[in-house]
Chains A and B, each alone.
Chain A
């Protein structure tokens, strides 16, 4: 699912920049990755043929769940926010429906497998999860090593509302507060002063819909004296499939609470991540997009 985008994109960008060595290197890696990806289907067929359908199903269900989280974070935010409006061909949700849901459904059923038990819930997440991740990466931009495009100009918001009806009443409400602070020079209110709670499976902040559709929830699990926190039933279920594999890992927040991050504040966390001032992320467009709201304050009520 994620192979073509970074590798083909990187190779293409490198060639355009004249770095043909790097372009060839990345293309070569991509062909190798493609071969690895090709193994999946036949390996599953062998498992099923030899009476291990349940194992095959479990492997597929876990893999899709974990990949979905990363794909949602990286591709979801890139398609619906970082891509300039004039270059967007379809929304992330439309892309997922056409290229992932339809194709994966056919492939899985052809193999003789069932759809993962969480299929409908995953499809429901197409409506909101990557919007939440976008707000997370922009608001916690000091914790990233790159600059994040906000992607919420008045025109962008019209597009988001068209593709995701209700966006303005949910994510838009939270962005309204952020934009109001930017317009009125309250920059300190546009930065975090604490850490988000990170999912013990995906390592991504636990987040969902704000505003009128508020549905944020913790999915905790007590296991061997420790409480774990998850973003959804799906993430919690993945952990339960192989707790020995995951139980000892400490998220950034776990390490913070264990006293491994000093001083115990956001600056300490940035130092722990080796992010010095000048390296930490900021707004990708230097907040120039906020001018559109300064010019026509009524725009934010779009």
Chain B
């Protein structure tokens, strides 16, 4: 358990934002934390979709249940949060 800052680059939003998560969080939990600062504020909700996480420039998403500590994500790395089909 350790606080871990990441940079959220949320699809359809206009700005990068600081989001505090935890090393024990799963990618779905991290996506929810990032969505809190974008969806419903400047990004229209898409309730029929899920939000997947990937590193900037990467093609593949992290597994949804992967814990942050199990990945190679570095503190203050820019992560892309993308709407995907459920």
Contact = CB atoms under 8 A, between A and B. Distances in A.
Interface of A: 132, 135-136, 139, 171, 173-174, 176-178, 181, 189-190, 192-197, 205-211, 214, 216-218, 220, 227, 229, 253, 256-257
A257 B76 contact: yes
A211 B19 contact: no
A189 B9 CA distance: 19
B47 interface: no
Given A190-B41, A257-B76, A216 B13 contact: yes
B48 to A, nearest CB: 17
B31 to A, nearest CB: 15
Contacts of B36: 193
A135 B5 contact: no
Interface string B2-41: 0001010101111111111000000000000000110011
Contacts of B5: 257
25 contacts: A132-B15, A135-B42, A136-B15, A139-B42, A171-B14, A173-B44, A177-B42, A178-B42, A181-B40, A192-B41, A193-B37, A194-B17, A196-B16, A197-B15, A205-B15, A210-B14, A210-B42, A214-B12, A216-B9, A216-B15, A218-B7, A218-B16, A220-B78, A229-B78, A257-B5
A231 to B, nearest CB: 9
A193 B9 CA distance: 16
Contacts of B56: 217-218
B76 A214 contact: no
Interface string B38-72: 00111110000000000010000000000000000
A217 to B, nearest CB: 7
B76 A208 contact: no
B15 A177 contact: no
Nearest to A190: B41
Interface residues of B, number: 25
Nearest to B74: A227
B18 A177 contact: no
Among the interface residues A139, A206, A216, which one has the most CB atoms of the partner chain B within 10 A?
A: A216
A105 B60 CA distance: 43
Contacts of B14: 132, 135-136, 171, 174, 207-210, 216
A189 B16 contact: no
A194 B7 contact: no
A139 B15 CA distance: 11
4 closest Cβ pairs, A-B complex: A210-B14, A218-B78, A197-B16, A207-B15
A174 B16 contact: no
Contact of B17 (A177, A181, A197): A197
Contacts of A218: 7, 9, 16, 56, 78
A206 B7 CA distance: 11
A261 to B, nearest CB: 11
B18 A229 contact: no
B33 to A, nearest CB: 10
Contacts of B19: 194
A189 B45 CA distance: 13
Given A174-B43, A218-B7, A218-B78, A194 B37 contact: yes
A177 B7 contact: no
Contact of A196 (B18, B43, B76): B18
